[in-house]
Chain A
Amino acid sequence: MSEFQSKGQRFVALCMFGLLLFNYPILALFNFSGTVFGVPALYAYIFAAWAALIAMMAVVAEADR
């Protein structure tokens, strides 16, 4: 049971982290007109953060099976 609980807590923490990433004020930091390799900074940030969040979810989901 404790394994399930700790896994649950990690996921809740990830969700909180995600809410932070895709919200004011972090989002506002990237809301300017710069570009990354030609891609607007805001778009680049959102997709990169999204991919990173999914990667972390994969790590937590597949850990100590």
Chain B
Amino acid sequence: MLHGSTIIFTSFAYLGLLFAIAYYADKRADAGRSIIASPYIYSLSLAVYATAWTFYGSVGRAASDGIGFLPIYIGPTLMIALWWVVLRKILRISKQNRITSLADFIASRYGKSALLGGLVTVIAIIGILPYISLQLKAVSNSFTILVQYPDIIMPSVAGEAPTREDTALWVAMILAAFTIAFGTRHLDVAEHHQGMVAAIAFESLVKLLAFLAVGAFVTFGIYDGFGDVFTRAAAVPKLRAMMTPLEGVAGGYANWVWLTILSMMAIMFLPRQFQVAVIENVDEKHLSKAIWLFPLYMLAINIFVLPIAFGGLLRFPDGTVDADTFVLTLPMAEKHELLALLVFIGGLSAATGMVIVETIALSTMACNDLVMPLLLRLPSLRLNERRDLTGLLLGIRRGAIVLILLLGYLYFKLAGEAYALVSIGLISFAAVAQFAPAILGGIFWKGGTRRGALWGLSAGFAVWLYTLLLPALARSGWLPISLLEQGPFGIELLRPLQLFGLSGLDQITHAMIWSMIANIGAYVAVSLSVVQSADEHRQASLFVDVFRQTGEGGGARFWRGTASVPDLYNLLARFFGAASADSTFADYATAKGLRWPDDPLVADAELVHYVEVQLAGAIGAASARVMVASVVTEEALTIDEVREILDEASQVVVYSHRLEQKSRELEAATAELREANERLKELDRLKDDFVSTVTHELRTPLTSIRAFTEILLEDPDVEPAQRTKFLGIITKEAERLTRLINQVLDLAKIESGKADWVESGVDMKEVISDTLAAMGQLFKEKGIKVEARLPERVSAVTADLDRMIQVMLNLLSNAAKFCDGTNGWVEIALAERDGALRIDVRDNGSGISADEHEAIFSKFHQVGDTLTDKPHGSGLGLHISRQIVEHFGGRMWVESTPGRGARFSFTLPVGVPT
């Protein structure tokens, strides 16, 4: 059994849990380890969009016109697709200007106008009241129904009206106390309520789980899956007609489209959505996840709406049970009391989440944009001289919270009975949609003016009052119903529900069309016909060009006047207390490279702007401006001066872009030059090495020639045999010298690209045979065994015949030189494969160690220790050979293991010159 006391106890336990979560999150935030700095918490907190209206009312609306409730969630999905463009810009603007609320945003955009801020606040409060009353109605209704368990009796026939209204009043008071505890414990400089956000995210989880639980219970517990519910419903003719609800309904598609547009506006401009999406956002990057997670949440919470609606209609066919209560009454009818209790808690979550965030947002607006500007203007209060204003600010906010909830309760008493939940919510949607032209116009169109916004908002709101609020009051009996039926003073054209004779649409669509025409029309027309003031012009460019500005100091450029540091300090201290003011000034000083309070600060434009922005974070832009103006002497800038500064600024931006580009180009050029320089240095070093090696190589034979000629010259009595031997050495050394010089010249020619290449089709088999024939004598003398493995015929290659002979001679003479001294053996192989010829020359010498495989192809490299071994050659032969082979598109390399001989190979691509 569910006693009233059980329900009340569970509710309070749940609220206590919420408070614990919020308290923990606040403690963590104070310790600098925020738990809400996560895109998932951000996405969940956005789901405060789903209120008791979603929880109970969606099913109610679905039960009357099928999918008619879906635009309320599809619209936001479409709007969220634009968040990357729109919300990111609003976020950036709000961070830079320390925006504290929706009203603050609009006031700030239009020249920090206190009048505009006040108007927005009034519209928001009046517009949202029906919505708050909806939450009170939902909670008190669900409580009244649940208490009757196991009977299912609708509140309207319960016959105990006084008790029920008491319930709503109690709910309002408890929520007010709760909200005060949540949102106004202390004055935060950044207007962040981390504890509240954590609690809201938790509530979003609870309501989703509760709704999914009841949805799954109805769909899979009572019925046999989605198909079963719909098939059974389709058997009832009345329900079958609802499944194609867009057919034949007058204005069906128009209603659908307008509801979509309305919801697109609501997701941006409901004060509580603005609060969680913009004010409470801690990191712009969270947007990337929220953009798809939040729509996914909305999809999830809507999946079971239609099955529950049809399930309820099938279960209670006689219409005695209000469709708005199906979520609760279905589990009750099936005697699942725990599930019913869970549903009640889910609904309570949805309602409290909405009420808490909404009233905090509204109370901030009421305090910063309505009460404070008024109080500051009353000279008799001497507010400018009060020492500490923190308590006053918190007091105003607490009072505003209580007042707003009481007004919500009042609306519930006045008009709550006449409408279903969804219709009440939509009235509020239509009210906040009035902010769309001023905000969207304000961030994308510099031409929007303060007066335009004032006129647009006033006109749109007036139409809203006339076409939506007035009929609501009339239907509840507070105004004569004849007003709706015959029009005021009997003028039919002015009937609130068929204004100027427009009929055939539902009430919301009708109101939206007229209010938007009035709102946008006045906003644009007035903006175009009046001149902007200097303040407006400055704020307009700060907002529209927010992505083009660099730091936070964007607004400082526009201030000229005199101020004193102590005055500014005292101003901050009065609102935040001395400790907070000290740390704020210390931050500023640190950013300037100074130390507070030891180093003197200059009260320049930047400091004044800094103080104003900090102050705006607590009391709103318009009030902050008034407060700062009270302690500084300001020279007003003319519109021309503002324009000049803006033009200068944009010039500077252009110049700095150009400079950046130039410096990037310069950097690239420098890097190239450095590289070239490195290359040159390397070449220079190579050249030096080359010259020293060449001279060294030349000196060895020269020394020996000179020594022997000197002997012959000084001693004529040398024996003939000795003489012949000496002369032989001289000749040999001279030959070596000639060969060396020839090779150096040859190399110089090849490397400088001046070598004469005679290209023709060359038969490599012939080259090898010729070379072998030329060297046959040498091999025979040394007793070296030569094996040639040549195919019958090979394709010709494009090469220089003499050069090829030079390469073969070089490889073969190397092989002859290095092969085994006593048992010499050389093998030559020629093969054609994959369009290339491959020539291998193998010997059975001592081999070459792996680290020498590349080195031997470099200039003047000689294998072995040149100090002890007599050099066997110039050290240029292999280098030149490789150059030649590579010139003809081939490759040359060596494979060898020390002690097991070496194999020199090269390839040449097949083909004759064309």
Contacts and interface: CB of A to CB of B under 8 A. Distances in A.
A and B: interacting chains: yes
Interface of A: 1, 7-8, 11-12, 14-15, 18-19, 22-24, 27-28, 31-33, 35, 37-40, 42-43, 46-47, 50-51, 53-55, 57-58, 61-62, 65
14 contacts: A7-B84, A8-B84, A12-B85, A23-B256, A23-B257, A23-B260, A35-B230, A35-B231, A39-B226, A40-B244, A47-B303, A57-B80, A61-B289, A61-B292
B63 to A, nearest CB: 14
A46 B256 CA distance: 13
Interface string B215-239: 0000000000111101100100000
A33 B244 contact: yes
Contacts of A22: 71, 74, 78, 256, 260
Contacts of B66: 42-43
B342 interface: no
A58 B294 CA distance: 11
B641 interface: no
A54 B299 CA distance: 9
B291 to A, nearest CB: 4
A19 B82 CA distance: 12
A15 B261 CA distance: 12
A12 B82 contact: yes
A30 B306 CA distance: 17
A11 B70 CA distance: 21
Closest 8 CB pairs of A and B: A38-B227, A58-B292, A15-B81, A40-B243, A24-B253, A61-B291, A11-B84, A18-B78
Nearest to A25: B253
Nearest to B254: A24
Residue of A8, A14, A22 with most chain B CB atoms under a 10 A cut-off: A22
B84 A61 contact: yes
B115 interface: no
A43 B543 CA distance: 42
Contacts of B231: 35, 38
B288 interface: yes
Interface of B: 66-67, 70-71, 74, 77-85, 225-228, 230-231, 234, 240, 243-247, 253, 256-257, 260, 287-289, 291-292, 295-296, 299, 303, 306, 547
Nearest to B84: A11
A26 B470 CA distance: 37
A1 B79 CA distance: 22
A39 to B, nearest CB: 5
Given A15-B78, A18-B78, A32 B84 contact: no
A55 B291 CA distance: 11
A32 B247 CA distance: 8
Given A15-B81, A40-B243, A57-B81, A27 B253 contact: yes
Chain B binding site: helix, strand, loop or mixed by DSSP?
helix
Contact of B227 (A12, A31, A39, A65): A39
A44 B228 CA distance: 14
Contact of A43 (B81, B82, B243): B243
Contacts of A15: 78-79, 81-82
Residue among B230, B231, B306 having the largest count of chain A Cβ atoms under 10 Å: B230
Contact of A31 (B230, B240, B247): B247
Contacts of A62: 288-289, 292
A15 B295 CA distance: 13
Contact of A8 (B71, B80, B85, B289): B85
A38 B307 CA distance: 12
Contact of B226 (A33, A38, A46): A38
Contacts of B244: 31-33, 40, 42
A65 B288 CA distance: 9
B305 to A, nearest CB: 10
Contact of A54 (B83, B84, B227, B295): B295
B302 to A, nearest CB: 8
A43 B68 CA distance: 11
Given A40-B243, A54-B295, A11 B82 contact: yes
Contacts of A46: 67, 70, 74
A54 B85 contact: no
A21 to B, nearest CB: 9
Nearest to B78: A18
Nearest to A1: B547
Given A28-B246, A54-B295, A54-B296, A37 B226 contact: yes
A37 B230 CA distance: 10
A57 B246 contact: no
Contacts of A65: 288
Contacts of B291: 11, 57-58, 61
B530 to A, nearest CB: 31
B680 to A, nearest CB: 38
Contact of A27 (B81, B246, B295): B246
A39 B245 CA distance: 14
A14 B81 contact: yes
A33 B240 contact: yes
A39 B219 CA distance: 12
A39 B230 contact: yes
**Residue of B243, B246, B306 with highest tally of chain A CB at under 10 A:** B243
Contacts of B247: 31
A7 B81 CA distance: 11
A37 B78 contact: no
B228 A18 contact: no
Nearest to B81: A15
A38 B225 CA distance: 9
B294 to A, nearest CB: 9
Contacts of A50: 74, 77, 295, 299
A42 B296 contact: no
Contacts of A7: 84
Contact of B77 (A8, A33, A54): A54
A18 B81 contact: yes
B94 to A, nearest CB: 18
A40 B299 contact: no
Nearest to B287: A61
A12 B81 CA distance: 7
A43 B30 CA distance: 48
